[in-house]
Structure 1
Amino acid sequence: MKLHQNTNRNAVSSKTTLGLFAFALGVFSAPALAQNSGNDFSFSGSATFVSDYRFRGLSLSDKDFAIQGGLNLNHKSGFYVSTWASSIQEFAGSETELDLYGGYSGSIGNLSTNVGIIAYIYPGSDNTTYYEVYGSVSGTMKNISWTLGSAYAWDQNNIGGQDNIYVYLSGSRPFGNSGFSVNGYIGYEDGAFGTDKWDWNAGLSYSFQRYTLGVSYVDTNTGSGTGSAGVIASISASF
């Protein structure tokens, strides 16, 4: 979730948890759909259990666990539409974040590019939906995969009539064919959601078959409870 929340602890409701778990299970039934999609389209998806849902360094699950899942429909031209959901701390009557987005991914020489627009929706709440455009370029240098990207939310009533800019750089380096990788990330934000805000993390992941285990250290310069340093563990599955 991207809007400011209060810091009172609120456990994720069993209704939300069960609903997102059903969504995650649905992710793994999608390959059957992919078989009927023809050669022009392909499906992919993921389901994740994480000990703390952090977005740009801030905890949106009140430092509690979260259940997440996503589905992507990709066309061979490079265009795609996707959806992603997560349980969150209660916000304006909602305990779910639902992201809907679409865009285009392509390449320029040895670089990969990605541009699109995303809608952040909080089912059960009023006047909280807002939009953001994003873009990134990715490449590989000496076994290090990197991505430089940005996201921009123009001034909208639901984010206080201000705009917001976020810029980030991420990198990952695998250890041969062991399945282990070391990962790093740094981001800068200014506007509606932060003033000269920095966030960063460093971690280790292990991938096998369609599963990935991860642990990372996350911190920000906000000094707030939701942005204080923490160690986050996760397990995800993809197809």
Structure 2
Amino acid sequence: MDYRYLIALSILLGGCASQPEVVEREIGQFDLKLGTAPTRSMAQGLVQPTTASTFRGGLDLAHDSGVYVGQWSPSVGLFDGSQLELNSYVGYAQPRFDDSVGYELGVIRYSFPELETRNREEYYAGINLGSSRLGGAMSSALGRTDSTLFLELGALRPFDVDVRMKYASHSMDSPMYHPGGSVRVFNDWSLNLSRRLLGMQMDLSYSDSSLRGAQCSVYSGQNAYCEGFMMFKAERSFF
């Protein structure tokens, strides 16, 4: 059996892919989380998005000291046009359990078993104050450097809407050519609003980049689409 089917099976056993809830268990001095949504704040902001991930999931294992490791798969690659992606991370966060001022740092390894030239590491660090988090990341792969700024404001009153914003800059060592010229540096950004309503998880997102028209043929940023794109999603748990 292909190992990607084993990953998909483990996700189904851990919970329905449309159920973003997290299963949490304490194992001695360790805290284990399994879920179909990223459970680590910084990793959640930095993992690559996917447009049609029917099967997705991961785990997060944290020690009382603040050290944690985890793995998140935004796409198992079961369907045509999708690729298996595994995002593995290790880091350190303090404090762990209260809402006081804290910090977090670590490294994420993005792995694409079917296209190893896309593999890379990304180093990140951030601070948090209550439910709000501000973080940054830097990665350097063959031929390019990417930097990301990530802001999560938590639930904003009075509407109880979670706000997450992300801005990234991408710099190429060599120009990328398109029919109308070339591109060496470009930026992209995204905004996500989410709220639980009537038993459903409601998400509204908008993404865009500095590229337009023919330039989008060389787009390789963090968004699923090059030019302005808005998406609304509603998920409901049946179990």
Aligned to 2:14: 27
C-alpha separation in 2, matches of 1:204 and 1:47: 16
C-alpha separation in 2, matches of 1:67 and 1:79: 28
Report the more deviating stretch, 98-107 or 76-85: 98-107
The answer to whether the aligner puts 1:170 opposite 2:152 as a matched pair is: yes
Q: How does 1:132-151 map to 2 (within 5 A)?
A: 132-140=122-130, 145-151=131-137
Among 43, 53, 58, the residue aligned to 1:70: 58
Aligned to 1:227: 226
C-alpha separation in 2, matches of 1:70 and 1:139: 26
Aligned to 1:126: 116
**Alignment-mate amino acid for residue 188 of structure 1:** A
Alignment TM-score, normalising by the size of structure 2 = 0.66
Structure 1 residues 133 and 56: CA distance shift in structure 2, 3 A: closer
* Residue 132 of structure 1, CA deviation: 0.9
Secondary structure, in 3 states, of the residue corresponding to 2:117?
coil
Q: How does 1:1-239 map to 2 (within 5 A)?
A: 19-27=6-14, 34=25, 37-38=27-28, 40-48=29-37, 60-61=50-51, 64-87=52-75, 95-107=83-95, 110-140=100-130, 145-154=131-140, 156-157=141-142, 160=143, 162-175=144-157, 180-192=160-172, 195-206=185-196, 213-221=201-209, 222-223=211-212, 224=216, 226-228=225-227, 229-233=229-233, 235=235
Higher strand share: 1
**Alignment-mate amino acid for residue 87 of structure 1:** S
Q: Is the 8 A contact 1:164 1:191 kept in 2?
A: yes
The structure, 1 or 2, with the larger RCO (C-alpha pairs under 8 Å, 6+ apart) is 1
C-alpha separation in 2, matches of 1:43 and 1:102: 14
Spell out, residue by residue over 1:26-83, the C-alpha distance to the aligned partner (whole angstroms, 9 max, x if none).
435x969x46x21x111012115xxxxxx8798643xx34432010111000000000
Structure 1 residues 82 and 234: CA distance shift in structure 2, 3 A: farther
List runs of 5+ in structure 1 lacking aligned partners. 1-14, 49-54
**Alignment-mate amino acid for residue 215 of structure 1:** D
C-alpha separation in 2, matches of 1:198 and 1:122: 22
Identity of aligned residues (%): 17
C-alpha separation in 1, matches of 2:54 and 2:153: 24
Aligned to 1:5: none
Secondary structure, in 3 states, of the residue corresponding to 1:123?
coil
Spell out, residue by residue over 1:85-112, the C-alpha distance to the aligned partner (whole angstroms, 9 max, x if none).
022779xx97111011100001499312
Q: Across the two proteins, how many residue pairs are aligned to each other?
A: 198
